């Protein structure tokens, strides 16, 4: 019986490996790249800002020093740890730049990133990286979009549309939980920010309600029983509510209900110092 189970697991592993290779081949095809094109939005709205995502900003001195030292050549760096490379490509450092003195630097590096990675790349277009890159780019409105060159703005917007379509087409590959909630939040933000793409907000909210129903129990605690998952679920729900408010859109009742129930659980878990308890 044990040998049979092992053999079945082996077959499942082979099947998954084959499906993954087929998917990668499709993602790298010219037809798939064309399918990610879209209409240039007529308007962009400031639906988020750096202040709202303070807890998501990466102030890692190694990454920031690399950005400032190598500027557009930063994408040629290969000697950073994998985690730092990932954070470099998700642009978690971008909102940490000085808006007054480093706006041009930020725009130059984004422009060079698009020149190098505008099409699907298996390392830098993973769904988690795309999710956070969309949030950081759109939230860095004053760096990227405000008073920027129109050609550059158009280039960035077109690439945001492209990345969003990739995320939308493949969001079902995300297993669920906090990762799924983050990606749905990114779609909601895109829909709030770009005229003619409001359907992403509608899709995101509808699927967010379903995901929360699967991830949060009737007592208002996440089913993973992980306090960190509780915190990030609550955090992104509050972010979504703030984004909707900035966009002058009504917040669905279910968002407020979950914020309230998760908030009660979060308050209960906190130590007097304000820290979450440690967990394995």
Would you tell me the crossing angle of helices 150-170 and 127-139 to the nearest 10 degrees? 140
Residue 6 has pLDDT above 50, yes or no: yes
Res 59: pLDDT: 97
Instruction: Report pTM.
Output: 0.91
Asked if residue 47 lies in contact with residue 185, where contact means CB atoms within 8 angstroms, the answer is no
Q: Which two tokens stand for residue 225?
A: 């029983």
Whole-number CA gyration radius for the chain: 20
User: Phi/psi of residue 42, each to 5°?
Assistant: -70, -35
pLDDT tens string 126-157: 999 999 999 999 999 999 999 999 999 999 99
| pLDDT cut 70: percent of the chain above it | 94
| DSSP H helix total and E strand total for the chain | 12, 0
Res 183: pLDDT: 99
State the average pLDDT for the chain. Answer: 92
3-state helix, strand, coil in the chain (%, to 5): 70, 0, 30
pLDDT tens string 170-208: 999 999 999 999 999 999 999 999 989 999 999 999 999
Cα 95 from Cα 49, distance rounded (Å): 9
| pLDDT cut 90: percent of the chain above it | 82
Residue 53 has pLDDT above 80, yes or no: yes
Q: Which two tokens stand for residue 49?
A: 């800002």
Residue 57 has pLDDT above 70, yes or no: yes
Judge residue 117's burial from the number of C-beta atoms within 10 Å of its C-beta, 0-12 exposed, 13-18 middle, 19 or more buried: middle
Res 280: pLDDT: 37
Asked if residue 190 lies in contact with residue 242, where contact means CB atoms within 8 angstroms, the answer is no
User: Phi/psi of residue 251, each to 5°?
Assistant: -80, 125
Res 278: pLDDT: 47
Q: Which two tokens stand for residue 237?
A: 């729900």
Sign, Cα dihedral of 258, 260, 265, 270: positive
Residue 272 has pLDDT above 50, yes or no: no
Residue 279 has pLDDT above 70, yes or no: no
DSSP category for residue 99: T
CATH number attached to the domain at 39-269: 1.50.10.100
Cα 265 from Cα 273, distance rounded (Å): 16
Q: Which sequence spans correspond to the domains of the chain?
A: 39-269
Asked if residue 84 lies in contact with residue 63, where contact means CB atoms within 8 angstroms, the answer is yes
User: Phi/psi of residue 140, each to 5°?
Assistant: -90, 45
What is the average per-residue pLDDT within 100-116? 97
Cα 33 from Cα 114, distance rounded (Å): 14
pLDDT tens string 253-262: 999 999 999 9
């Amino acid at each position: 019986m044990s040998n049979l189970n092992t053999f079945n697991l082996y077959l499942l592993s082979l099947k998954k490996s084959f499906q993954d290779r087929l998917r990668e081949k499709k993602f790298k095809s010219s037809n798939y790249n064309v399918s990610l094109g879209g209409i240039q939005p007529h308007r962009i709205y400031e639906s988020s800002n750096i202040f709202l995502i303070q807890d998501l900003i990466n102030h890692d001195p190694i990454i920031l020093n690399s950005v400032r030292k190598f500027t557009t050549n930063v994408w040629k760096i290969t000697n950073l740890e994998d985690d730092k490379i990932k954070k470099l490509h998700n642009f978690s450092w971008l909102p940490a730049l000085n808006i007054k003195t480093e706006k041009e630097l930020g725009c130059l590096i984004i422009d060079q990133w698009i020149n190098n990675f505008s099409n699907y790349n298996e390392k830098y277009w993973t769904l988690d990286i795309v999710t956070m890159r969309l949030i950081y780019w759109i939230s860095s409105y004053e760096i990227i979009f405000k008073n920027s060159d129109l050609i550059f703005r158009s280039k960035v917007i077109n690439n945001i549309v492209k990345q969003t379509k990739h995320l939308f087409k493949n969001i079902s590959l995300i297993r669920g939980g906090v990762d799924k909630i983050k990606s749905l939040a990114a779609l909601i933000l895109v829909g709030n920010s770009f005229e003619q793409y409001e359907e992403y907000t509608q899709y995101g909210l509808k699927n967010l309600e379903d995901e929360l129903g699967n991830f949060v129990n009737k007592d208002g605690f996440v089913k993973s029983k992980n306090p960190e998952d509780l915190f990030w679920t609550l955090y992104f729900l509050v972010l979504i509510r703030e984004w909707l408010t900035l966009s002058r859109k009504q917040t669905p009742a279910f968002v407020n209900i979950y914020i309230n129930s998760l908030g009660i659980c979060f308050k209960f878990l906190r130590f007097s110092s304000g820290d979450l308890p440690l967990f394995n």
